[in-house]
A and B are shown apart, each in its own frame.
Chain A
Amino acid sequence: MTQYLLSVHMGADFVPPPQEQMQKMFDDVDKFNKKLQEQGSWVFAGGLHPAEMSTVVRVEDGKVLTTDGPYVEAKEHIGGFWVIEAPDLDAALKLAAEGSAACGGAVEVRPFQDNPS
């Protein structure tokens, strides 16, 4: 088994769709999350506030520097993510496709370094 990060990429200019569409998206993602949990693929997941809500902290020469806003000024930011466990990349890609269909964003699949013990 390998753990994968499935991160959802959303445009910075993402405009929330109308209420009904939003609701359908939430429902679809809920359904997908339940499926992940039932089949034992679920490790962790969550949706994030917009990137502009973030704060960057870094330590330089022992001093803490705190800055407002995202680390990278990009056209796209991570809108949410799943951490899943799958037998191989094909299984992970299949789940990523389901996740993408549910949330309507592109999903990046990236393996974790250590196998879960």
Chain B
Amino acid sequence: MTVDASAIEGVFRAESGRAVASLVRFFGDIDIAEEAVQDAFEVALQRWPQQGLPPSPAGWIITTAKNRGIDRLRRESTRDDRHRQAMLLHTRDEVETGPVDDDRLRLIFTCCHPALAQEAQVALTLRLIAGLQTPEIARALLVSEPTMAQRLVRAKGKIRANNIPYRVPEDAELPDRLRPVLAVVYLIYNEGHVATSGHTLVRDDLCAEAIRLARVLVQLMPDEGEAQGLLALLLLTEARRPARTGPDGSLVRLADQDRGLWDRDLIAEGHALVRACLRRNMPGPYQIQAAIAAVHADAATTETTDWSQIVQLYDQLMAFAPSPVVALNRAVAISEVDGPGSALAIVDDLDLDTYHLFHAVRGDLLEQLGRSDEAAAAYRRSIDLATNDVERDHLRHRLDVLTSH
């Protein structure tokens, strides 16, 4: 097997989360850890093409990075850096680091510390845990590269200045601290999931990264139902992705999707996780949303979907995490069970005037009720508010169909 630069890059991308996490623990500093892994990458570029892959690339990266990091600190400590020197002495005394996976979990909780803004949490997680480079993160999150670089520098600066700890929270704090971690992974997935023209490839990558991160969380915290729920939700959503856009890139609604295109392997995996959550019986918002996705995945068509079970699940979700958006989704399910009139009564009470999907749902319900003029007005409002080209085209199409009758 030839080991070229892109293969080496792939190995580093897959392993850098572990390596950086382990080295942050060893060096007590994120920047030094990242520099050390970067140094190891340079060494690998020189050696691996001739010598081939080492038996354990992960172990090789960590050992090489550790040695390079120590060398670098020795060299640099002759400068004004008594701080680094002191740290080096300290780390040299320390016994061998703990299990690598624990280090990664520690680092996730550091990246998603509540003292950091969510956009900083997302950027740090993609960079340090997922191993993405700054330009990739900037492209994926649609901000300029200098902005993203600055955001990362600032976030790491805040961690250092504030002495944000590098550890897994105690059991008592865990539920509160786990919430932003799961939210970050969910957000990363959604960034990728909303179809945007021109950035398709990078956006697909984000979905894949989010699923990889969710897998890591489940592996690291097998007893946390919400981590499993999140992974199940992402897998079941991902399963529908091939059917979500038409050949021309246009949006296809759930009701109109070719369910034969759904990924059965992902659905099977998602279902198994949902069943495990049901057995554990400690429901939470992600588990319930996963269960809703599982009910959809079970049905061959919209008509044969068990909508009353979906309404029940939305009722449960409203009890855990009430929000107007959840209420809107619940109303859509209600319309399948009790008809568009009941659903419209619920929707009209919601305070979501600036949300394009609120008007899209209203338009759809009004259209079903034969109130074409009001439906057209709702679609127009929705088109005005939509920011995504693909969604806007879809809404325009619905408006055209409605008004051409």
Contact surface of A with B, Cβ cutoff 8 Å: 2, 4, 87-90, 92-93, 109, 111, 113
Contact = CB atoms under 8 A, between A and B. Distances in A.
20 contacts: A2-B162, A4-B162, A87-B163, A87-B165, A88-B163, A88-B165, A89-B113, A89-B115, A89-B162, A89-B163, A89-B164, A89-B165, A90-B164, A90-B165, A90-B169, A93-B115, A109-B162, A111-B162, A111-B163, A113-B161
Nearest to A113: B161
A4 B162 CA distance: 8
B268 to A, nearest CB: 40
Contacts of A109: 162
Interface residues of B, number: 8
Interface string B82-123: 000000000000000000000000000000010100000000
A3 B113 CA distance: 19
Nearest to A115: B83
Contacts of A88: 163-165
A93 B161 CA distance: 14
A2 B163 contact: yes
Interface string B47-76: 000000000000000000000000000000
Interface in B155-211: 161-165, 169
Give the interface SS of chain A, mostly helix, strand, loop or mixed.
mixed
Interface in B252-311: none
B109 to A, nearest CB: 10
Contacts of B169: 90
Give the interface SS of chain B, mostly helix, strand, loop or mixed.
loop
Q: What are the nearest 10 A-B pairs in CB distance?
A: A88-B165, A2-B163, A89-B162, A89-B164, A88-B163, A111-B162, A111-B161, A90-B165, A89-B163, A89-B115
Nearest to A88: B165
Contacts of B115: 89, 93
Query: Which residue, B161, B162, B163, has most C-beta atoms of chain A within 10 A?
Result: B163
Contacts of A111: 161-163
Interface string B145-163: 0000000000000000111
B226 to A, nearest CB: 21
B114 to A, nearest CB: 8
A2 B162 CA distance: 8
Contacts of B113: 89
A92 B161 CA distance: 13
A89 B162 CA distance: 6
Contacts of A92: 162
A83 to B, nearest CB: 15
A111 B163 CA distance: 8
A28 to B, nearest CB: 23
Query: Which residue, A4, A87, A89, A111, has most C-beta atoms of chain B within 10 A?
Result: A89
Interface in B22-70: none
Nearest to A112: B161
A93 B115 CA distance: 9
A111 B165 CA distance: 14
A111 B159 CA distance: 11
Nearest to B113: A89
A88 B162 CA distance: 7
A40 to B, nearest CB: 17
Contacts of A4: 162
Contacts of A93: 115
B401 to A, nearest CB: 53
Contacts of A90: 164-165, 169
Contacts of B164: 88-90
B167 to A, nearest CB: 8
Query: Which residue, B113, B162, B165, B169, has most C-beta atoms of chain A within 10 A?
Result: B162
